[in-house]
Amino acid sequence: VQDTQSLYASFALAVRAGSFDDPPELPGLMHFIEHMVFLGTAKYPDPEGFDKFVAENGGDQNAYTADEATVYYVELSEEAADEGLDRLADFFRAPLFKSDFVEKEVHAIDSEHAKNVQDPGRRVYEV
């Protein structure tokens, strides 16, 4: 969908790999990858670069790992759309996966999981 009058651009990318694809010995791997791709790429190595770029261009971004897919989505100013899309695409062309961030991201994922376990809605969904 394209609206030439819009001040914002939005795009999303779904990867056909989710938590059902985690190997038994590495539960949470797809969620971990979801987090790590945000932390720098060959073309855009700053680990905070994507978040900063989106925020500086009046936007928002997020991602989630579902059972069968992982989805990344972005909204930002129309003027920044081309570079925003290039930055998102580089997550999949050349992610850095720097070891410096492994412990921090594992902790973040554990915290998210602990919070989600307490959510009755998620428990119903899992049944």
| DSSP label at residue 100 | G
The pLDDT score that the predictor gives to residue 120 is 74
The pLDDT score that the predictor gives to residue 123 is 60
Amino acid at site 40: G
Average pLDDT over residues 35-62: 98
Burial 13-39 (b: 16+ CB within 10 A, else e): eebebbbeebeeeeebbbbbbbbbbbb
Average pLDDT over residues 52-81: 97
34, 68, 78, 83: which one is catalytic? 34
Q: Is 48 an annotated catalytic residue?
A: no
Reported residue count of the chain is: 127
Locate 94 and state its tokens. Answer: 């050349």
Share above pLDDT 90 across residues of the chain, in percent, rounded to a whole number: 79
Alpha-carbon distance of 41 to 8, in angstroms, equals 25
The DSSP bridge partners found for residue 62 are 73
* pLDDT exceeds cutoff 70 at 42: yes
